[in-house]
Amino acid sequence: MIYEIRGQRVMLDFDLAAMYEVKTGALNQAVKRNIKRFLSDFMFQLTNEEVANLMSQIVTSSWGGVRKLPFAFTEQGVAMLSGVLKSDRAIEVNISIMRAFVVMRQLAMTSVEIKQLALENKEIRQLLDEFIEETEGKFDDVYHALAQLAMDRQLSGSKPRKPIGYKQ
């Protein structure tokens, strides 16, 4: 029941009301009575287009007929609801929701880290491939030159050189 709308993870008022076991109207009324607690980055009302988009994404919609555009609560807005709704059920649900947001944030961070590692490994693999490609021909040339020198020495019949250095 956590959606991404306007680039934010949010929960909708009717989903929250169902979880808190209150009517959507009662939840929204409690919010309106404490509207100073719900800044624009804590809560916003969906547009007709956003509602249509959400309904098309959720094949089995339990929304029924919506008379008013739903409110979307960000993680901070959901946390603020705990101060407005004072039942034991509200406290339990709020703790569960906060944990869900934390898990989603951890999963998002993990996926970002995995993508970053994959990019780094891809870059390292590309650099290694380029290095091998560049050096492969050079080492082949060195091995070929050494083999040629050894062959030339055998063919010329030259004697091995005397070692240079101090005698013992």
* Closest listed residue to residue 73, CA positions, set 84, 64, 63, 65: 84
Average pLDDT over residues 130-158: 68
Highest mean pLDDT among 74-78, 114-118, 138-142, 148-152: 74-78
**Each residue of 70-92: pLDDT tens digit?**
999 988 888 888 778 877 787 78
d(CA 57, CA 51): 10
Helices vs. strands in the chain: H and E counts, helices first: 5, 4
Provide the b/e sequence for 86-98 (b: ≥16 CB within 10 Å).
eeeebeebbeebe
**Each residue of 93-103: pLDDT tens digit?**
878 887 887 88
Q: What is the pLDDT of residue 44?
A: 93
Sign of CA dihedral 39, 45, 49, 50: positive
**Each residue of 2-16: pLDDT tens digit?**
888 998 889 899 988
Q: What is the pLDDT of residue 157?
A: 63
Highest mean pLDDT among 35-39, 128-132, 155-159: 35-39
Average pLDDT over residues 130-152: 69
Q: What is the pLDDT of residue 71?
A: 92
Q: Look up the pTM and report it.
A: 0.54
Q: What is the pLDDT of residue 1?
A: 78
Q: What is the pLDDT of residue 168?
A: 64
**For 24-128, where are the E strands, in sequence order?**
43-45, 71-73
